[in-house]
Chains A and B, each alone.
Chain A
Amino acid sequence: MDTTHKFITMFEAIGLFVAVVGVILFLASRFSGRKGDRIVALAFLLPTVLLISVGLVYPGLKTIYQSFYNAAGDAFIGFDNYSTIFGDSDQRTVLRNTVLWVVITPFIATAVGLLYAILVDKARVEALAKALIFLPMAISFVGAGIIWKFVYAFRPDQPGIEQIGLLNQILMWFGMAPKQFLIDTPLNTIFLIVVMIWIQAGFAMTVLSAAIKAIPEDIVEAARLDGVRAWGMFRYVTVPSIRPALIVVLTTIGIGTLKVFDIVRTMTGGNFDTSVVANEFYSQSFRSGNQGLGAALATLLFILVVPIVAYNVRQLRSSDER
């Protein structure tokens, strides 16, 4: 397929989309009154429901079903795939890494974002300072992975060889030997997590900064009159006021981290004991040809994400009620 053909297909698809929406809108506009409202709602919901069931619900159920089958998907093996995940030493390393990611990333990224938001709040160069930390958000995970791969790059300390990695060059300036950041376990997982924090801190900062700005001025004023100092202001005024925003940020980063795949795949390919569930699921399903184990890992990921999403939704609801 050449480029023009691709563009034609794209415009056809867009045209068709517009036509479909037009037909729905047209049909919906022909009904009115209470009964008509329901029909309108259905007309809008049904395509969505249809697409979700074809694109999400059915594959989801099928994946859960497959997770009880063997590598080729032709024999039922019960919970064997799940016992492999928790029994095999390589798979346990994968679980350990995922736990490290999920425990470290959201809290550090949120903490960094919050601290930064407070520090630059009302500063003279606020806009510039915010833009600087927000920039990594604009970079794709794969791009970030490649950038940091260079930061961590290793060359030996010997005549005629020049460092190409920023960190190792800094180590050399301080008279230390260069390190293999991406190979030495278990620290290499931490060095990968740093990349995720680098990306997500900007997101945390933006949301939290907006929340801080929304704190009513009179509360701050009242606290100040009561003689509250900086730390007290943070502890008793700022944090309680932005609690809903904090939870949204924590859970959003948490979910994103559980699904982390691109960074690991780009930087180490899951080697050197750095694999995580999402990466392992991919390599088992599509490289190793073990459909069953891949499906079991995907299901595990799903089970892990559900409570966070549920908590997130409940928090949103209770803050809406307030």
Chain B
Amino acid sequence: MTARNHRRRGLSLAGMAALALFASACGGSSADNDTAGGDPSKAPVAGCEEYTQYGDLSGKTVTVYTGIVTPEDAQLKATWAPFEKCTGATIKGEFDKTFEAQILVRAKAGNLPDIAIVPQPGLLQTLVKTGKAVAADQATTDMVDKNFSASWKGYGSVDGKFYAPPQNASMKSLVWYSPKEFTEKGYKVPTTLDELMTLTETIAKTGKKPWCAGIASGEATGWPVTDWMEDFMLRTAGPEAYDKWVNHEIPFNGPESTAALEEAGKYLKNSKFVNGGYGDVKSIASTTFQDGGLPILKGNCSFHRQASFYAANWPKGTTVAPDGDIFAFYLPGKAATDKPVLGGGEFMLGFRDAPEVHAFQAYVASATWANLAEQGGGGRCATPNKNADPAKAAGCSDIDKLAISVLQDPNAVFRFDGSDAMPSAVGANSFWKQATNWITGQSTKDTVDKIEASWPK
């Protein structure tokens, strides 16, 4: 009898210890809570005239959760400081690079911040559909109507209801080139798609391959082609058709999208135009996207289409400026007045219905905030706020200045990267894969047909 008892106790002990081992091995991660400085007790201060509209928020705290991390967290906090100083509110930032996965977990657990800075319209929709998000109030809506184009307001809305004002933005519709080559040869930056094609042909006639590209990116190989196709979809079929295409209201193998891919193919699949410095059309598939544009520096090609992040990709010692070794121009629209822009951006989604939360949302949507962001320089420079003062952007990089001038253009029609918004079976799998096959020889028709077939029913 005693032996049996002993045994049972021994076993359960061992079992418990084994479980404990598991638990401790998994470990918990802790997010860094960081309070921005600010003194809530100060009454009216000089320079606070622009902040009186937000009222007295002394003693109130707004928590903000974001995926923006060092070094940009400091730049972001700097734009909050005047608001804290003038209204007396405290903005508590939580900067966590696992934001995109964590925010969904926290929404499920009911542990939400007052405001989340959401970097993707798809995620914004998912979060709003949890039913925990709070719609923007009238003051914020008015501020957004005044300062942003309708496309931006649309991306911050779900089912016609406006939730989240935009914060910063980035731009993808860029073509990198060598300003030196342009001055030497007397080329002019093209302002329409036709001019771009004419210039491409002119350069090709000199025996140089005008374009270089690279789409290799490990398992994500092919994604740069999706950006090409989106840019051309936006230009040849227009923003309305683009939205329908992204939402699958028109088929992927419909005439509009087939034409857009054909149009991109006029550059990417023409062996006279590509792939400068790397070989034939197929070599695009084996060249990494990081290497894609580098032959411009050696004079092996003239153009490379890639988003603004590519500025950081040039080797040390390269000057990225309108009169430097490398710069970029806006990939033009059909007509010079068309300004379709493909890019990304962030939205301030609120989860608590309180005056200080609404006030802070309205503040970030204001020209005051946009000017502070531009003044701060660094990665927070570019905002799509039409009423921001471009003169304040003196400290920003030249590429950010270019992005600001395009994003804040009154004619600009902004669209998000469509493949991000498509179901992942398409946007993170078949679109990449078939685009890669398209480069290595598959016909345009087979490509769009196969992507259409992979769309989840």
Chain A residues with CB under 8 Å of chain B are 1, 6, 9, 12-13, 16-17, 19-20, 23-24, 27, 30-31, 35, 39, 42-43, 46-47, 50-51, 71, 153-156, 158, 160-161, 180, 182-183, 265-266, 268-272, 283-284, 287-290
Cα distance A27–B3 in the bound complex, in angstroms: 11
A27 pairs with B6, CB closer than 8 A? yes
Q: Can you list 30 A-B pairs, Cβ within 8 angstroms, ordered by A?
A: A1-B27, A6-B27, A9-B25, A9-B27, A13-B25, A16-B17, A16-B24, A20-B21, A27-B6, A27-B10, A43-B7, A43-B10, A46-B15, A71-B425, A71-B456, A153-B286, A154-B279, A156-B277, A156-B278, A156-B283, A160-B298, A161-B277, A180-B282, A182-B286, A183-B286, A270-B219, A271-B285, A272-B285, A288-B424, A289-B428
Cα distance A223–B424 in the bound complex, in angstroms: 65
A287 pairs with B17, CB closer than 8 A? no
Measured between beta carbons, the chain B residues less than 8 angstroms from A16 are 17, 20-21, 24
Cα distance A133–B233 in the bound complex, in angstroms: 53
Shortest distance in angstroms between A204's beta carbon and chain B's nearest beta carbon?
A: 30
Shortest distance in angstroms between A55's beta carbon and chain B's nearest beta carbon?
A: 9
A47 pairs with B25, CB closer than 8 A? no
B6 pairs with A30, CB closer than 8 A? yes
Measured between beta carbons, the chain B residues less than 8 angstroms from A268 are 221
Measured between beta carbons, the chain B residues less than 8 angstroms from A160 are 298, 300
Cα distance A19–B24 in the bound complex, in angstroms: 14
From A6, A47, A265, A272, B14 is in contact (CB under 8 Å) with A47
B286 pairs with A31, CB closer than 8 A? no
Cα distance A76–B351 in the bound complex, in angstroms: 36
Cα distance A284–B14 in the bound complex, in angstroms: 39
Measured between beta carbons, the chain A residues less than 8 angstroms from B220 are 269
From A1, A35, A183, B30 is in contact (CB under 8 Å) with A1
A287 pairs with B429, CB closer than 8 A? yes
Cα distance A154–B216 in the bound complex, in angstroms: 13
* Chain A residue at smallest Cβ distance from B295: A161
User: Which residues between 248 and 286 of chain B lie within 8 Å of chain A, taking CB atoms?
Assistant: 277-280, 282-283, 285-286
* Chain B residue at smallest Cβ distance from A12: B24
Measured between beta carbons, the chain A residues less than 8 angstroms from B7 are 39, 42-43
* Chain A residue at smallest Cβ distance from B279: A156
* Chain B residue at smallest Cβ distance from A185: B440
B14 pairs with A24, CB closer than 8 A? yes
- Contacts A1-B27, A271-B436; is A183 near B282 (CB within 8 Å)? yes
B219 pairs with A265, CB closer than 8 A? yes
* Chain A residue at smallest Cβ distance from B287: A154
User: Does B344 sit at the interface, judged by CB under 8 A?
Assistant: no
User: Does B11 sit at the interface, judged by CB under 8 A?
Assistant: yes
Cα distance A158–B212 in the bound complex, in angstroms: 15
From A39, A50, A71, B3 is in contact (CB under 8 Å) with A39
Measured between beta carbons, the chain B residues less than 8 angstroms from A12 are 24
User: Does B321 sit at the interface, judged by CB under 8 A?
Assistant: no
User: Does B18 sit at the interface, judged by CB under 8 A?
Assistant: yes
User: Does B218 sit at the interface, judged by CB under 8 A?
Assistant: yes
B11 pairs with A271, CB closer than 8 A? no
Cα distance A36–B331 in the bound complex, in angstroms: 81
User: Which residues between 403 and 439 of chain B lie within 8 Å of chain A, taking CB atoms?
Assistant: 423-425, 428-430, 433, 436-437
User: Does B206 sit at the interface, judged by CB under 8 A?
Assistant: no
B286 pairs with A50, CB closer than 8 A? no
Measured between beta carbons, the chain B residues less than 8 angstroms from A270 are 219, 433
* Chain A residue at smallest Cβ distance from B218: A269
A283 pairs with B429, CB closer than 8 A? yes
Nearest 3 A-B pairs (CB), nearest first? A156-B279, A27-B10, A269-B219
User: Does B343 sit at the interface, judged by CB under 8 A?
Assistant: no
Mark contacts of B215-243 with chain A using CB atoms, 8 A cut-off: 1 yes-contact digit, 0 otherwise.
Answer: 00111111000000000000000000000
User: Does B183 sit at the interface, judged by CB under 8 A?
Assistant: no
- Contacts A1-B29, A42-B7, A269-B221; is A20 near B17 (CB within 8 Å)? yes
Given contacts A266-B218, A287-B219, 14 further A-B contacts (CB under 8 A): A16-B20, A20-B17, A20-B18, A20-B21, A27-B6, A35-B3, A39-B7, A46-B15, A71-B425, A71-B456, A183-B285, A183-B440, A265-B218, A290-B425
Measured between beta carbons, the chain A residues less than 8 angstroms from B278 are 155-156
User: Does B48 sit at the interface, judged by CB under 8 A?
Assistant: no
* Chain B residue at smallest Cβ distance from A284: B429
Shortest distance in angstroms between A147's beta carbon and chain B's nearest beta carbon?
A: 16
Cα distance A158–B21 in the bound complex, in angstroms: 60
Measured between beta carbons, the chain B residues less than 8 angstroms from A20 are 14, 17-18, 21
B221 pairs with A47, CB closer than 8 A? no
User: Does B13 sit at the interface, judged by CB under 8 A?
Assistant: yes
Cα distance A271–B6 in the bound complex, in angstroms: 59
Measured between beta carbons, the chain B residues less than 8 angstroms from A27 are 6, 10, 13-14
* Chain B residue at smallest Cβ distance from A13: B25
Cα distance A9–B440 in the bound complex, in angstroms: 49
Measured between beta carbons, the chain B residues less than 8 angstroms from A42 are 7, 11
Mark contacts of B371-391 with chain A using CB atoms, 8 A cut-off: 1 yes-contact digit, 0 otherwise.
Answer: 000000000000000000000
B425 pairs with A288, CB closer than 8 A? yes
From A161, A272, A288, B428 is in contact (CB under 8 Å) with A288
Cα distance A306–B196 in the bound complex, in angstroms: 59
Cα distance A137–B378 in the bound complex, in angstroms: 46
Shortest distance in angstroms between B229's beta carbon and chain A's nearest beta carbon?
A: 17
Measured between beta carbons, the chain B residues less than 8 angstroms from A266 are 218
User: Which residues between 17 and 46 of chain B lie within 8 Å of chain A, taking CB atoms?
Assistant: 17-18, 20-21, 24-25, 27, 29-30
